[in-house]
Amino acid sequence: MKIAVLSGKGGTGKTFISTNLAAALKNSVYVDCDVEEPNGRIFLQPQDVQTEDVNRLIPEFDSDICSACRKCVDFCRFNALIFIKNKPLVFKEVCHSCGACAYLCPEGAVTETERKVGVIEKGRHGTVDCITGILDIGEASGVPVIKKVLQEGEKLACKKGGDLIVDCPPGSACSVQESVADADYCLMVVEPTAFGLHNFKMVYELVELLGKDCGIVINKEVEVYKPLEDFCREKKIPVLLRIPFSKKIAGESARGILAVEENKEVENIFLALRKKTGGKAS
Amino acid sequence: MKKLLILSGKGGTGKTTVAAAFMRLSKASAVADCDVDAPNLGLVSDFQGERRTKDFIGAQKAFIDSNICVACGLCASKCRFSAIEKENGTYHIRDIACEGCALCTAVCPVNAISMLDDVAGKQCLLRERQKNNGSRIFSGAKLKMGRGNSGKLVTEVKSALFKAVAVKESDLVRHFDPSRDLAIIDGSPGIGCPVIASVAGVDLLLIVAEPSISGFSDLSRLLETGNQLQTKAVVCVNKWDISRENTQKIKNYCRQKEVPFVGCIPFDRKVIEAVNQGISPVDCESSSGEALRKIYREVLSRLAG
């Protein structure tokens, strides 16, 4: 089963929940799709790490063949091409790798070459596979890295017959959409505050639109936040787990400690959480 | 006008709490919430006034006219974003996957595909008239779920803000007066497209860091991004007493990178209480409010200098 852990708001504890869940399950694959700020590896400390580049296609123009017809420049929807000195020039950062310029060129002057936009790291934490996507600094879109991480994760989870735990980026935009699209279950981590509820509603809209099974974990609960309880009741969203706010948990997380491996009781809590999401290990 | 952008790298470190406090302390005449993915500043803002909203057209998306389509499947085979699907023998566009490249319109042999505007979010602009005949502007937006183009929307939110305050900028040149000439911009987490778009043209980045190993890793990636974009940054730590050790590590790192460190905010339950009431910790007596005031003064002196 593929479980996407998401939140809308940042810092609610997605990585805390997903790394501990993956570690408790043991025969699982953890993938970090928060490629702008990947932190799962801090907790899982993967060993025997292998690194692979993630590339994207970028057009190159052969000035000997180019007839300066400008078809590509006029067509490009992302304004990634400009016409300088009778030749198209590409702005690599804005190019979406759609391939339109190569398709349209009547002279065949465009070749597409690979350009690195990030890396993925594959390693192991005991029996847990840990795959991390890392976007290169200065790159605008993490989507190609996320796609690659998910692909690798699915392959591994399938092979070992374990669950795939997907640690999503915050928000509800395109990168989150990408991470959630194929999930069997959406586990939403919510902070019981006005900010937390507001962002949870946004991400729930996405989960609802995609028609996914879902449930929530209320994290850092200082006291019951009634508007959140009301919303869940109204929408019939099950609350699977409540984690009280504790300076001890916050302190341990700050030091990168994996709670399930410190404390058997916590491990049982996470195993129970997995039971509540239903579904078999794939 | 001096433009201050508040960022964090990691999510949930307290950007919006800091931005809301600065709004209260400065009476800044221009405020923008550029976290279009999770816009929360409006929930704790004290702005009152005339509100205008408009649709944000992110990009165009392809549309297949099923009356013309001959179901040859050429478009689907060329689409790099897996945005064209076959269902019951006809092809249609998956709006959430379509990036609007329009390659399919060029590929289609029977011209069945056209590009249509896609509403990807909503922008709002609030103007609050003030007694002295001036006004305060709040610019914000909300991206529709699953939509891209957040960088473009961030740029629109900023340009709407500065267009609205432009009249004031032509005022006489005078000393920097934080009660009038300050723009506070609340940014988004991460280091990708919306963050890069929000950094353009600002005078200073205030980074709200969290004293955790994750927070430290995100801070260093963000500082590197700021460096690449050649923008000055200062750093403060929120909930510093969660880990004294990591707070010290952040301070040392800042010293080593020659990034000014402007203060620490203690963990304080009053922050949550304040947020849930739609106010800021500086509105009530609190240890976090006191710390925020100090950081505010420090940031102002950096902006003025």
Whether A198 has its CB under 8 Å from any CB of chain B: the answer is: yes
Whether A11 has its CB under 8 Å from any CB of chain B: the answer is: yes
Handedness of CA B23, B24, B26, B30 (dihedral sign): positive
Separation of alpha carbons A17 and A8, rounded Å: 15
Residues in B closer than 8 angstroms to A100, CB to CB, are: 101-103, 106
Separation of alpha carbons B243 and B262, rounded Å: 18
Separation of alpha carbons A50 and A35, rounded Å: 17
Residue A230 makes CB contacts below 8 A (sequence gap 6+) with none
Nearest to B194 by CA among A171, A198, A181: A171
Which DSSP state fits B256?
A: H
Measured in angstroms, the CA of B175 and the nearest CA of chain A are apart by 35
Residue A282: is its pLDDT beyond 60? no
Whether A257 has its CB under 8 Å from any CB of chain B: the answer is: no
Contact B9 A199 (CB under 8 A): no
Contact B60 A254 (CB under 8 A): no
Q: In the β-sheet with A28-32, what is the strand arrangement from edge to edge?
A: A47-61, A110-125, A128-135, A28-32, A163-167, A2-6, A185-190, A213-221, A239-244
Residues in A closer than 8 angstroms to B85, CB to CB, are: none
- The number of beta carbons lying within 10 Å of the beta carbon of residue B238 is 29
Measured in angstroms, the CA of B197 and the nearest CA of chain A are apart by 9
Residue A177: is its pLDDT beyond 90? no
Beta strand spans in A19-161 (E): 28-32, 47-61, 81-84, 87-90, 110-125, 128-135
Nearest to B61 by CA among B84, B95, B91: B95
* Cα A133 to Cα A207, B77, B215, distances in angstroms: 23, 27, 17
Chain A residue with CA closest to B104: the answer is A100
Token pair belonging to B142: 């909300």
Residues in A closer than 8 angstroms to B80, CB to CB, are: 97-99
Token pair belonging to B252: 């040392």
Measured in angstroms, the CA of B163 and the nearest CA of chain A are apart by 24
Q: What is the pLDDT along chain B (305 residues), one digit of tens a residue?
A: 899 999 999 989 999 999 999 999 987 889 999 999 889 999 998 888 889 999 999 889 999 999 999 999 999 999 999 899 999 889 999 888 898 999 999 999 999 999 999 999 999 999 988 777 678 899 999 998 778 778 899 999 999 999 988 755 555 455 677 767 899 999 999 998 899 999 999 999 999 999 999 999 999 999 999 999 999 999 999 999 999 999 999 999 999 999 999 999 999 999 999 999 999 999 999 999 999 999 999 999 999 87
- The number of beta carbons lying within 10 Å of the beta carbon of residue B164 is 20
Are B234 and B254 in contact by the 8 Å Cβ rule? The answer is: no
Nearest to A24 by CA among A6, A38, A5, A44: A44
Residues in A closer than 8 angstroms to B246, CB to CB, are: 254-255
Whether A244 has its CB under 8 Å from any CB of chain B: the answer is: no
Residue A62: is its pLDDT beyond 90? yes
Quickly list DSSP for B81-115.
T--EEEETTEEEE-TTT-----HHHHH-TT--EEE
Whether A91 has its CB under 8 Å from any CB of chain B: the answer is: no
Element of type H or E holding B235: strand B233-238
Test mutation, A18, A195, A207, chain B, max B CBs within 10 A: A195
Contact B38 A209 (CB under 8 A): no
Query: Complex ipTM, two decimals?
Result: 0.87
Separation of alpha carbons B233 and B6, rounded Å: 10
Model pLDDT for residues A66-121, shown as the tens digit of each residue: 999 999 999 999 989 999 888 899 988 789 999 999 999 999 999 999 999 999 99
Point out the residue among B78, B146, B212 whose CB comes nearest to the CB of A253: B212
pLDDT score for B28? 86
According to DSSP, the residues that pair with A115 across neighbouring strands are: A56
